[in-house]
Amino acid sequence: MIDPKKIVLVGMPGSGKSTLGKELAKRLNFPFYDLDDLIEEKEGKKIASLFPEKGEGYFRKLETAVLSGLLQREEAFVLATGGGAPCYNENMELINGSAVSVFLDVPLNHILERLTQTQVELRPLFSGMDTSEIILKLKNMYVERCSFYEKAKIKLRGEDISPELLISSWMPLLKIKP
């Protein structure tokens, strides 16, 4: 059953899922979770070290297990997923079966502006890449992942996605009072 008080943000790395999610959760008085943080907590390791040590396959299975466990909870929450989470192991179907999914579709040039060198180093998929390689990788990722993101129940497009926009546009439809 879909719980309108479980809000799951999906989108590309750097699209603002964590930033928007924290602010949205604060305004709704819901707890905020970041799927990557929950995975790191469970494993006791940073994701940047999980990828090279155990591989992406291990990470994706762990990601699905943590996501599934969270979605089964009774509580209301806002969750920011990792950029790839909706694209593996039928996770988007799992999300849509239990929560309201929101796709933050931010133009790639704005994502690139947001990804500082420090942020890039923390993201294993961009490790060791220069700017032109990151741009190409982002474009390819968008093409590969967009069909999964487009399954979201709510789609917000543009560079100025804000908690106000999400609350004012969509929350009344979900009968949630901020």
pLDDT reading at 32 higher than 60? yes
Q: What pLDDT shows up at residue 119?
A: 60
Q: What pLDDT shows up at residue 164?
A: 75
pLDDT reading at 10 higher than 90? yes
pLDDT average, residue stretch 24-33 = 92
Render pLDDT for 102-138 as a digit per residue (tens, 0 to 9): 999 998 888 877 765 546 556 666 767 777 887 888 8
Q: What pLDDT shows up at residue 2?
A: 65
Going by C-alpha positions, the residue among 164, 175, 176, 163 that lies closest to residue 19 is 163
- Domain residue spans of the chain: 6-164
- Which of 73-82, 83-92, 100-109 is least confident? 100-109
Measure the CA–CA gap between 150 and 167, rounded to whole angstroms: 20
Q: What pLDDT shows up at residue 124?
A: 62
C-alpha 148: how far from chain center: 12
Q: What pLDDT shows up at residue 175?
A: 58
pLDDT reading at 86 higher than 70? yes
Q: What pLDDT shows up at residue 144?
A: 95
Percent of the chain with pLDDT over 90: 52
pLDDT: is 5 or 120 the higher one?
A: 5
Q: What pLDDT shows up at residue 90?
A: 97
Instruction: Please name the CATH architecture into which domain 6-164 falls.
Output: 3-Layer(aba) Sandwich (3.40)
Render pLDDT for 147-169 as a digit per residue (tens, 0 to 9): 999 999 988 887 767 777 766 66
Q: For residue 43, what is the enclosing H or E element? A: helix 35-43
Task: Please name the residues in contact with 10: beta carbons below 8 A apart, sequence gap of 6 or more.
Answer: 17, 81, 85, 86, 92, 95, 101, 102, 103, 104, 148, 149, 152
Q: How many CB atoms lie within 10 A of CB 158?
A: 12
pLDDT-derived band at 82 (thresholds 50, 70, 90) equals: very high
